[in-house]
């Protein structure tokens, strides 16, 4: 396959939350899918998924490789990606992987198209999609980094249960209704906030927090950016929010900051305290943009900005970003 306007596309993890969103976004953006290969675990093989009014049967991994799609969008967890992405790549299929399996592999590109799609070549057969909370933060920070150079970032996240998956959504909805059911988290999430996302590491930070630290440096191609993060799960159904405090090397002007953000690709500025306008997850729901507001100077130290960043974590944070990578590859004739 490759070139032209025809494209056989596999979606691995097609029945999960992100996989379902990938199918939706592929259809919405009119990606030139001529044949869809939905892939899932053995228990889902034979089920049907709908795409653009047609029904497609879910197949297993071997059948998907044998179908020789041009591109495979993976959203089936790190273990699956570690095992299967190299097998797809060996068959000449370009893998865009949404798990954390390949993100920090120095030989694999970690891409947010607005920032660093230019690193991609035809040789890249496994391309990593960054963590959802990292994507929205770097989209908002990149135009400012280019102008003022970022020295240090302090970020606290307010992350939706959809980031965990369908089991977490069920837990929240069950708790709302007073139903005792399967728990995705150790603790109740309704009327609660859980300051732990992923497992704890030896340094006392969680894996999610360290993903934000390491991925930011890699995507922005600057090992000197200092990042410290606290990642928190909140009882919200869609959309991650982040409080970001960023110290620059150069002095900034707030009006120029607003202008840089308003004109950056994929960004929307919602920032009018006078009318209580600021980004909220419910407004970002089913949108592809990253929304930013609450822009104000940190009055406790020089050259430091506070900002509030919101995005739909299943879309720009996952599915849309992966499909934008595929669009770039297709436009450049790299598929």
Tell me: do 185 and 42 sit in the same domain: no
- Spatial separation of the C-alpha atoms in residues 82 and 87, rounded to whole Å: 10
Tell me: do 160 and 242 sit in the same domain: yes
User: Within a domain: residue 267?
Assistant: yes
Tell me: do 74 and 154 sit in the same domain: no
On whether the CB atoms of residues 153 and 227 are closer than 8 A, the answer is yes
User: Within a domain: residue 3?
Assistant: no
Tell me: do 97 and 119 sit in the same domain: yes
Tell me: do 295 and 161 sit in the same domain: yes
Tell me: do 327 and 306 sit in the same domain: no
**Among candidate residues 94, 56, 51, 101, the one with its CA nearest the CA of residue 75:** 101
* Tens digit of each residue's pLDDT, the chain (335 residues): 444 567 999 999 999 999 999 999 999 999 999 999 999 999 999 999 999 999 999 999 999 999 999 999 999 999 999 999 999 999 999 999 999 999 999 999 999 999 999 999 999 999 999 999 999 999 999 999 999 999 999 999 999 999 999 999 999 999 999 999 999 999 999 999 999 999 999 999 999 999 999 999 999 999 999 999 999 999 999 899 999 999 999 999 999 999 999 999 999 999 999 999 999 999 999 999 999 999 999 999 999 999 999 999 999 999 999 999 999 999 999 99
Q: What is the pLDDT of residue 2?
A: 43
Q: What are phi and psi of 180, to 5 degrees?
A: -85, 120
- Across-strand partners of 153? 227, 246
Tell me: do 122 and 88 sit in the same domain: yes
- Spatial separation of the C-alpha atoms in residues 105 and 196, rounded to whole Å: 25
User: Within a domain: residue 2?
Assistant: no
Tell me: do 98 and 145 sit in the same domain: no
Tell me: do 211 and 223 sit in the same domain: yes
Tell me: do 85 and 173 sit in the same domain: no
Look up residue 94 and give its two tokens.
């370009």
User: Within a domain: residue 1?
Assistant: no
Tell me: do 125 and 18 sit in the same domain: yes
- Please count the structural domains in the chain: 2
- Spatial separation of the C-alpha atoms in residues 111 and 233, rounded to whole Å: 25
- Across-strand partners of 309? 242, 292
The CATH number of the domain holding residue 70 is 3.40.50.720
Tell me: do 168 and 43 sit in the same domain: no
Q: What is the pLDDT of residue 3?
A: 45
- Spatial separation of the C-alpha atoms in residues 294 and 172, rounded to whole Å: 28
- Spatial separation of the C-alpha atoms in residues 193 and 190, rounded to whole Å: 8
| 30-89 confidence digits (pLDDT tens) | 999 999 999 999 999 999 999 999 999 999 999 999 999 999 999 999 999 999 999 999
**Among candidate residues 56, 16, 13, the one with its CA nearest the CA of residue 33:** 56
Domain that holds residue 21: 8-130+318-331
What's the whole-model pTM score?
0.96
User: Within a domain: residue 146?
Assistant: yes
User: Within a domain: residue 35?
Assistant: yes
Q: What is the pLDDT of residue 5?
A: 60
Look up residue 1 and give its two tokens.
């396959």
Instruction: Give the H/E segment covering residue 269.
Output: strand 267-269
User: Within a domain: residue 68?
Assistant: yes
Which residues form the catalytic set?
132, 240
String of DSSP letters for 77-103 = -HHHHHHHHHHHHHTTPEEEE-SSSST
The CATH number of the domain holding residue 306 is 3.30.360.10
Instruction: Give the H/E segment covering residue 155.
Output: strand 150-158
Q: What is the pLDDT of residue 275?
A: 98
């Amino acid at each position: 396959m490759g070139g032209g306007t025809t494209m056989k596309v596999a979606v691995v993890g097609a029945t999960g939350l992100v996989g379902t969103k990938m199918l939706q976004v592929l259809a919405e953006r009119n990606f030139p899918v001529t044949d869809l290969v939905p892939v899932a675990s053995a228990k889902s093989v034979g089920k049907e998924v709908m795409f653009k009014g047609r029904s497609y049967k879910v197949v297993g991994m071997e059948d998907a490789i044998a179908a020789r799609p041009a591109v495979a969008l993976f959203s089936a967890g790190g273990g699956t990606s570690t095992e299967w992405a190299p097998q797809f790549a060996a068959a000449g299929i370009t893998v865009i992987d949404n798990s954390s399996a390949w993100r920090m592999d120095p030989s694999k590109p970690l891409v947010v198209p607005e920032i660093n799609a230019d690193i991609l070549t035809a040789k890249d057969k496994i391309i990593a999609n960054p963590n959802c909370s990292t994507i929205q933060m770097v989209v908002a920070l990149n135009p400012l980094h280019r102008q003022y150079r970022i020295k240090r970032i302090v970020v606290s996240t307010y992350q939706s249960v959809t980031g965990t998956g369908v089991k977490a959504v069920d837990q929240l909805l069950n708790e709302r209704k007073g139903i005792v059911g399967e728990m995705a988290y150790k603790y109740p999430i309704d009327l609660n906030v859980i300051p732990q996302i992923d497992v704890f590491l030896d340094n006392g930070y969680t894996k999610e927090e360290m993903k934000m630290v390491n991925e930011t440096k890699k995507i922005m191609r600057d090992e000197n950016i200092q990042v410290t993060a606290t990642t928190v799960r909140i009882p919200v159904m869609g959309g991650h929010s982040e409080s970001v405090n960023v110290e620059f090397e150069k002095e900034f002007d707030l009006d120029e900051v607003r202008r840089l953000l308003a004109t950056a690709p994929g960004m929307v500025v919602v920032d009018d305290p006078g009318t209580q306008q600021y980004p909220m997850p419910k407004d970002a729901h089913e949108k592809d943009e990253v929304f930013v507001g609450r822009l104000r100077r940190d009055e406790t130290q020089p050259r430091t900005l506070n900002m509030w960043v919101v995005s739909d974590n299943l879309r720009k944070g996952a599915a849309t970003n992966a499909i934008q990578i595929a669009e770039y590859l297709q436009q450049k004739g790299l598929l």
